Amino acid sequence: MEKPLLPRESGQFVAERSRDVFIRDAGVQKVAEMLFNLRRSDALTASGWKVANPLAPALNWVFVVDTMNFSFWPDNGAQQCEVTYKGITYTGFMTLCAAITRAMDEGVPITDPKYFSQMSVEELGKVLRSDNETAMPMVQERHQVLTEGGRVLLEHGGSFHSFISQAGNDAQKLVELIVEKIPSYRDEVTYEGRKISFNKRAQILVADFWAVTEARGEGYIINMDCLTMFADYRVPQALVYLGVLQYSDALMEALKNGELLPSGDRREVEIRGCSIWSVELIKERLHKMVQETDGNACSINSAIIDFYLWPFAKQHHKEMAHIPIHHTRCIYY
């Protein structure tokens, strides 16, 4: 069976054939310069990850959250699901983080694979309960992927750490292990007759594993440069806002009209693929600028650029409101 292209090659393959999404060199240059000016700040280090994940306490918590890290937008423009934890009200991805941490405070062993591998849909529904009328979407699917993930951990030592350590400390091998053993992490599609992969959640899981160990001073993951940005629905919006990506008039109109793009739709694949490749181009440009100016190699990888762009998109959501995000209901992002 044909192996899918890796995410980086997939991004390039899509970008070279894309009909509705285009990468603009001026935008690539602009963002590379923006990051260049921040190159010595904490925003572009593993500790920048802590800003995006302030509630992350431990590795099993990271596994539980990343396994259910998909599709937080509400149906038909309804208000977003909200979770209030310790006086702060969270929306989007952070509702999941807050809900899992809240459950731990309530004594629910939600980060123990023995528990979450066999918990009921009702039990998970209670853990993920919203503090307003809008329920978190796709609870059934979240239950399915979490129990599946838990069973895999139990077959491999009973914790995320014991499972992941089988792949050594190479980021590429870690992603391959996750995608091979846990079906819900297989983010693959056929585009223009070629099987490609984006593996958004598997790559985030490895990047989060790296960031947690790095933040603890135990960082030992090599080959982090093989990871790409994590192709979701929020970062592409920021890339359009920053002039890196441009959508065709037809695609922009479809998104503004609220058209749902099915998972695997050509336009959806082009948004994700071009997002990946544009960040690779930004990274290459940034590395070149650092080399020429500072005379040394730049350690900023695509995961760190994503860790910067994702909170940027959240912080500037009001200025970016005129740019529609694409809506695809699926378990991949």
Q: pLDDT tens digits, residue range 221-241?
A: 899 999 999 999 999 999 999
Residue that wins the pLDDT comparison between 126 and 214: 126
Mean pLDDT of 201-217: 87
Mean pLDDT of 100-129: 98
Residue that wins the pLDDT comparison between 219 and 51: 219
Distance CA 187, CA 218 (A): 29
Q: Which residues contact 71 (CB under 8 A, 6 or more apart)?
A: 137, 138, 329, 330, 331, 333
Q: Which residues contact 45 (CB under 8 A, 6 or more apart)?
A: 304
**How would residue 11 be classed by pLDDT, with cut points 50, 70 and 90?**
very high
Distance CA 31, CA 244 (A): 8
Per-residue confidence (pLDDT) for residue 78, from 0 to 100: 73
Residue with tokens 């991949």: 332
Mean pLDDT of the chain: 94
Distance CA 146, CA 165 (A): 20
**How would residue 48 be classed by pLDDT, with cut points 50, 70 and 90?**
low
- What are the backbone angles phi and psi of residue 85, rounded to the nearest 5°? -135, 125
Could you write out the three-class secondary structure of the chain? CCCCECHHHHHHHHHCCCCCEEECHHHHHHHHHHHHHCCCCHHHCHHHHHHHCCCCCCHHHHHHHHHCCCCCCCHHHCCCCCEEECCEEECCHHHHHHHHHHHHHCCCCCCCHHHHCCCCHHHHHHHCCCCCCCCCCCHHHHHHHHHHHHHHHHHCCCCHHHHHHHHCCEHHHHHHHHHHHCHHHCCEEEECCEEEECCHHHHHHHHHHHHHHHHCCCCCCECHHHCCCCCCCCHHHHHHHCCCEEECHHHHHHHHCCCECCCCCHHHHHHHHHHHHHHHHHHHHHHHHHHHHHCCCCCCCHHHHHHHHHHHHHHCCCCCCCCCCCECCCCCC
Using the predicted structure, report yes or no on whether residue 51 has a pLDDT greater than 60. Answer: no
**How would residue 47 be classed by pLDDT, with cut points 50, 70 and 90?**
low
Annotated catalytic residue, options 20, 187, 208, 232: 232
Using the predicted structure, report yes or no on whether residue 281 has a pLDDT greater than 70. Answer: yes
What's the pTM value of the predicted model, to 2 decimals? Answer: 0.94
Per-residue confidence (pLDDT) for residue 279, from 0 to 100: 98
Closest to 29 measured CA to CA, from 281, 274, 316, 305: 281
Residue that wins the pLDDT comparison between 79 and 187: 187
Per-residue confidence (pLDDT) for residue 193, from 0 to 100: 97
Residue with tokens 């190699």: 297
Q: pLDDT tens digits, residue range 154-165?
A: 999 999 999 998
In the residue annotation, 232 being an active-site residue is answered as yes
**Helix 302-315 / helix 200-215 crossing angle, nearest 10 deg:** 100
How far, in Å, are 95, 210, 258 from residue 76 at the CA level?
19, 37, 8
Per-residue confidence (pLDDT) for residue 302, from 0 to 100: 96
CA 293 from chain center: how many Å? 31
Mean pLDDT of 277-286: 98
Question: Hey, what long-range contacts does 186-195 have (CB within 8 A, 24 or more apart)?
Answer: 187/332, 187/333, 188/4, 189/263, 189/264, 189/269, 190/264, 191/10, 191/13, 191/14, 191/17, 191/266, 191/269, 191/273, 192/13, 192/17, 194/5, 194/13, 195/2, 195/3, 195/4, 195/5
Mean pLDDT of 99-104: 97
Q: pLDDT tens digits, residue range 238-258?
A: 999 999 999 999 999 999 999
Distance CA 282, CA 288 (A): 10
- The domain segmentation of the chain, as residue ranges, is 7-316
* Integer Rg of the chain from CA: 19
The token duo for 279 is 């960040």
Per-residue confidence (pLDDT) for residue 211, from 0 to 100: 82
**How would residue 75 be classed by pLDDT, with cut points 50, 70 and 90?**
confident
Per-residue confidence (pLDDT) for residue 63, from 0 to 100: 97
- What are the backbone angles phi and psi of residue 11, rounded to the nearest 5°? -60, -45
